[in-house]
Amino acid sequence: MIIERDVSQLTVGSYIVDIVKQKGKVKIKTSGWIRDFHQIEALIEQGVQRVSIDTTKHLDSLDVDSVERTPVTDDSEASREQLVKEKTATQSSKSQSKPRNKVNINKQSFAERLTDAKGVFDEAKSIQEGVLRDIQSGREIDIEAASLVVDKSLEIIFQNPDALACVLSIRTKDAYLLEHSVSVSILMAIFCHYMGFDKTLVKSLSLGAFLHDVGKIRIPDKILHKPGKLTQEEFEVIKMHAVYSKEVVDSVDGLPEVSKQIVANHHEKLNGKGYPQGLREDSLTVYDRMISICDIFDALSADRVYKSGFPQLKAFAILRELAQAGDLDVSLVDNFIHCMGVYPVGSLVQLRSNRLAMVEKRNEEVPTKPVVKCFFNLTQNAFTEIRSIDLAQQPNEKIEKAVRANDFDLDIGKISEFLMMQG
């Protein structure tokens, strides 16, 4: 059945037939499916207001994954089909499980969630620091402490994934090594939860992600923190951290094998151009592929002493480019982006009204119009009274672009403190 819909009502999987109303002169070359939220955003940005869709051709998320793939070899196609089957199975299992208790975390205000999330993040960072000290001193890693803090993260994530995601943007560039591993662990847990994995498996994968970079403690600081481009010799030294990380976790009693596996393979690529072993896609599990995506995303979006991170939307675009180049799994990259949302909770945006806001809550129906917390007036160059705005209910307000605090000489730490105090 052919019906008309406003662009804001489109969902991933909608089959567009033609443009009905627009401000510009966009033409649809061929009918087709909306494959991700960025296409909806692009239509809105180009002035498309209303389209006709064929409701008989609507696809669910799994079908969208299958039509999104670019031409690949028979082996890789079979591999990706297996990933979709795995997701189908895990989502079926998830739907049959007992409902989780979401009461406490969902009743909290954004400021309270931010405060609790920051507390868990800081605790995890402290434990990560202890792990690195143990390695440096030749002592056995306190895996129990690491396991307990991962448990705390999972309790939050399984009640409300966005409650912990909000803290990932609040980072200090001076503590990248510590915070990167904690962030990748959180990202991996959120991603695994989205994919419907069993909680026991999620914990093993999150724990592996927490330990994935411990070998960097053996890399000389002058190379590890070099602000300029690495020489080939220096890059070869950096690459050894994956070998060192594997050596460390292999010696830890009681650590699940899947945890050790993703530590060993987090820098491998589907096209065989990764390291340290140069494994190809037929040797890489879905878990290896997932941690690689989480690791790269955090590395792209985090600030460091010698460089600023990219806004999340730019990081997503780079992930897509890497997937098209054969480094990453196309289907899983799209799943990761859907999992995080077009504008991830905790990310900063600039509004049409020339105000800065932090994304408080995603809008699944209209991904480009989340609920945001306004806190800064760029015209006045001053912090303002915090105001929560549902952009879906504000036709005259919209997000102009995703930004970073240092674009405006602001400190993300002070922004978070302001939000927690005033929230």
Every domain of the chain and the residues it spans: 2-59, 103-340, 348-422
b/e per residue 398-418 (b: at least 16 CB within 10 A): ebeebbbbeeeebebeebbeb
> What pLDDT score does 106 carry?
59
Q: Is the pTM of this model over 0.85?
A: no
Among the ranges given (93-97, 142-146, 395-399, 414-418), the one the predictor scored with the smallest mean pLDDT? 93-97
Secondary structure class of 331 (helix, strand, coil) = helix
Q: What is the pLDDT of residues 2-28, one digit of tens each?
A: 777 777 566 667 788 888 888 777 777
Kindly state the percentage of the chain with pLDDT values over 70: 83
- Candidates 339, 298, 347, 290; CA nearest to 318 is 298
* pLDDT of 400 strictly over 80: yes
Average pLDDT, the chain: 83
H helices of 302-329, in order, are: 312-324
> What pLDDT score does 64 carry?
42
Kindly state the percentage of the chain with pLDDT values over 90: 49
> What pLDDT score does 85 carry?
44
More confident residue, 417 or 288: 288
How long a stretch of residues is the chain?
A: 423
CATH architecture label of 103-340: Orthogonal Bundle (1.10)
* pLDDT of 272 strictly over 90: yes
- Candidates 147, 163, 203; CA nearest to 345 is 163
Among the ranges given (60-74, 304-318, 348-362), the one the predictor scored with the smallest mean pLDDT? 60-74
CB atoms within 10 A of CB 55: 11
How far does the chain reach from its first CA to its final CA, in angstroms?
A: 47
Secondary structure class of 195 (helix, strand, coil) = helix
> What pLDDT score does 26 carry?
74
Q: What is the pLDDT of residues 42-60, one digit of tens each?
A: 777 777 888 888 877 776 5
CB 142 within 8 Å of CB 129: no
Q: How far apart are CA 126 and CA 146, in angstroms?
A: 10
- What angle, 0 to 180 degrees and rounded to 10, lies between the N-to-C axes of helices 330-340 and 61-68? 140
In whole angstroms, how far apart are CA 229 and each of 232, 233, 235, 306, 320?
9, 11, 9, 11, 24
- Candidates 14, 75, 3; CA nearest to 39 is 14
Q: How far apart are CA 396 and CA 378, in angstroms?
A: 18
Name the strand (E) or helix (H) holding 4: strand 2-6
* Triad 215, 168, 195: Cα angle to 5°: 85
Q: Which residues contact 359 (CB under 8 A, 6 or more apart)?
A: 343, 344, 345, 346, 347, 348, 349, 370, 371, 372
* Triad 317, 319, 324: Cα angle to 5°: 95
Q: How far apart are CA 42 and CA 83, in angstroms?
A: 28
Q: What is the pLDDT of residues 81-121, one digit of tens each?
A: 444 444 444 444 433 333 334 435 556 777 777 788 888 88
> What pLDDT score does 245 carry?
96
For the segment 398-407, the average pLDDT, to the nearest whole number, is 90
Residue 150 pLDDT grade (very low, low, confident, very high; cuts 50, 70, 90): very high
* Triad 273, 336, 347: Cα angle to 5°: 115
> What pLDDT score does 8 carry?
59
Q: How far apart are CA 308 and CA 325, in angstroms?
A: 24
Secondary structure class of 41 (helix, strand, coil) = helix
